[in-house]
C-alpha cells in the first residue's frame, strides 16, 4: 500500500506542476484520456449486448441459406432429415469456430482490440466478407457531405432568424415564427420524410432516391447538379427538423442578454442598436450554442438513419442499420465507435471553443 502511495505521489507531482503551468493543455489531455477509457468500456458493453441478443450471425446465415434452397422432392424420409440436421449443426459449429464466435465475448473483444490497435485492421464484415474499413470509407464521405451541409444551413439560418426575431419580440411575425418553429420541432421526422417522398413520387419534381445512379468520376459536373437535385428534399426535412430548437434557443438567449444591465449601460452611452446587438449581445449567445452543439453533429448522424433508409441514401446510418439487423459484430462495433468518437470529440472541442470565445472561462 505504501508503494502505491509513493508511486501515485511520484506521478502526481509532475502532473500538478504541468497543470499549474498549462491548465488548458492539461484539461485537454485529461479529457482525451477519459475519452479513451469511455471508448474501451463502451466497446466491451457492445460485445456484451451482442452476445446477449438471441441467436447470432451464423443462425441468420444458415436460415438464409435454407430459405434460398429449392426442394428437390416433395417427400423426405425421417432418416435423411435427421442426417441433414446433424450435418447443419456441425457446419454451424465449425463456422462459429472460424469466426471466433465460440469464445466468450470478453476474449472476442480483446482479440478485436489487438487487431485494431496493433495491426490497424477493423476486421472483415461477417456478412459480405469485405473489409470493414473499406465499407465505412465508402459510406462515410456521403454521410459527412450530407450532414455537414445540413449543419451549416441550420447554424447560419438559426442565428440569422434567432437574432432577427429577438428584435421583433411580441409582434405577429415573431408569434408566427415561434409557432412554426415549435410545429416542425415537434413534428415526427419519419412522417415528414415519408410525406416528402410521397410528394416527390406524386409530382415527379424531385427523385424519390437521395443519391444519383451514376458515380462522381464518370461526370463530375453533372453529378454535382444531380446530387443537389437528389438531396434537396432530404436536406429540407433535416433542416426543418433541426432549425426550430436552435432558433428558439438563440432568440431566447438574445432576449435575456438584451435585458441585462450592461446593455442598458451601452445604450445610455449612445452606442447604436446594431452594435449593441451584433458586437455585444450576439457574442454572449455563442456560449450556450457551443455547449449545445457538442452533440449536434453526432445527433445529425444518428438522425440521418431514417433519412438514409427512406430515401435509399448510401450513408453510414444505413450501413449501421443493416449491420445491426444482420448482427455483424465487426461492422456494428466499428460504426458505434465512430459515433462515440464524434460525441466525445465534440465535447472536447466545445470546451476548447468556450475558452477561446469567453475569456472568463479558465480550466484550473
d(CA 45, CA 280): 46
pLDDT surpassing 70 at residue 263:
yes
Domain assignment present for residue 155? The answer is yes
23-32, 54-63, 203-212, range with the lowest pLDDT: 54-63
Q: Are 237 and 193 in contact (CB under 8 A)?
A: yes
75 found inside a domain: no
What count of Cα atoms within 13 Å lies in the side-chain half-sphere of residue 320? 20
Look at residue 164 and tell me if it is in a domain: yes
Residue-wise pLDDT for 78-134, tens only, equals: 444 444 444 466 766 666 666 666 677 788 788 778 877 887 777 777 667 777 778
Place of cell 468500456: 41
Q: Is residue 357 part of a domain?
A: no
- What is the sign of the dihedral through the CA atoms of 63, 67, 70 and 71? positive
At 131 the three-state DSSP class reads: strand
DSSP assigned state of 170: T
Identify whether 339 is part of a domain: no
- Dist CA 356 CA 289 (whole Å): 14
Residue 52 lies in a domain: no
Q: In this predicted model, what pLDDT tens digit does every residue of 269-317 receive, in sequence order?
A: 888 878 887 777 777 777 777 776 666 666 666 667 788 888 888 888 7
Q: What is the pLDDT of residue 300?
A: 64
- What does the pLDDT read at residue 193? 87
User: What is the predicted pLDDT for the residue at 313?
Assistant: 86
Q: Supply the range of the domain harboring residue 261.
A: 138-313
Is the overall model pTM greater than 0.85, yes or no? Answer: no
CA distance 285 to 31: 25
* pLDDT grade for 191, boundaries at 50, 70 and 90: confident
Give me the pLDDT at residue 219, please. Answer: 82
Higher pLDDT, 219 or 287: 219
Q: Can you read off the three cell numbers belonging to residue 333?
A: 462495433
Assigned C-alpha cell, 242:
433541426
The rounded percent of the chain whose pLDDT value lies above 90 is 0
The pLDDT of residue 53: 63
> Which grid coordinates belong to 321?
442499420
Is 298 inside any structural domain? yes
Residue 271 lies in a domain: yes
Into how many domains does the chain fold?
A: 1
- Which CATH number belongs to the domain containing residue 216 in this structure? 1.10.3720
Amino acid at each position: 500500500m505504501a508503494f502505491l502511495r509513493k508511486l501515485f505521489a511520484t506521478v502526481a507531482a509532475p502532473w500538478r506542476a504541468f497543470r499549474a503551468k498549462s491548465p488548458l493543455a492539461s484539461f485537454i489531455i485529461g479529457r482525451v484520456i477519459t475519452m479513451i477509457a469511455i471508448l474501451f468500456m463502451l466497446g466491451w458493453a457492445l460485445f456484451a449486448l451482442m452476445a446477449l441478443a438471441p441467436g447470432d450471425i451464423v443462425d441468420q446465415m444458415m436460415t438464409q441459406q435454407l430459405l434460398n434452397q429449392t426442394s428437390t422432392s416433395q417427400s423426405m424420409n425421417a432418416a435423411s432429415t435427421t442426417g441433414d440436421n446433424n450435418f447443419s449443426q456441425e457446419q454451424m459449429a465449425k463456422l462459429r469456430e472460424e469466426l471466433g464466435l465460440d469464445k466468450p465475448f470478453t476474449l472476442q473483444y480483446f482479440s478485436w482490440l489487438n487487431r485494431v490497435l496493433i495491426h490497424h485492421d477493423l476486421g472483415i464484415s461477417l456478412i459480405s466478407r469485405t473489409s470493414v474499413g473499406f465499407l465505412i470509407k465508402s459510406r462515410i464521405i456521403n454521410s459527412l457531405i450530407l450532414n455537414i451541409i445540413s449543419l451549416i444551413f441550420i447554424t447560419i439560418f438559426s442565428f440569422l432568424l434567432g437574432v432577427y426575431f429577438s428584435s421583433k419580440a411580441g409582434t405577429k411575425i415573431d408569434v408566427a415564427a415561434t409557432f412554426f418553429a415549435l410545429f416542425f420541432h415537434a413534428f415526427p421526422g419519419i412522417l415528414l420524410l415519408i410525406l416528402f417522398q410521397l410528394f416527390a413520387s406524386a409530382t415527379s419534381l424531385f427523385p424519390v432516391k437521395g443519391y444519383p445512379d451514376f458515380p462522381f468520376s464518370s461526370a463530375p459536373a453533372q453529378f454535382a447538379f444531380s446530387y443537389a437535385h437528389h438531396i434537396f428534399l432530404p436536406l429540407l426535412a433535416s433542416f426543418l427538423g433541426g432549425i426550430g430548437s436552435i432558433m428558439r434557443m438563440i432568440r431566447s438567449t438574445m432576449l435575456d442578454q438584451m435585458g441585462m444591465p450592461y446593455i442598458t449601460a451601452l445604450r445610455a452611452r449612445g452606442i447604436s442598436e446594431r452594435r449593441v446587438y451584433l458586437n455585444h449581445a450576439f457574442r454572449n449567445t455563442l456560449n450556450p450554442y457551443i455547449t449545445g452543439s457538442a452533440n449536434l453533429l453526432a445527433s445529425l448522424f444518428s438522425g440521418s438513419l431514417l433519412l438514409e433508409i427512406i430515401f435509399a441514401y448510401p450513408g453510414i446510418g444505413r450501413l449501421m442499420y443493416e449491420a445491426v439487423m444482420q448482427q455483424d459484430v465487426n461492422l456494428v462495433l466499428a460504426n458505434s465507435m465512430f459515433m462515440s468518437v464524434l460525441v466525445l470529440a465534440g465535447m472536447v472541442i466545445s470546451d476548447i471553443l468556450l475558452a477561446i470565445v469567453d475569456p472568463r472561462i479558465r480550466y484550473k
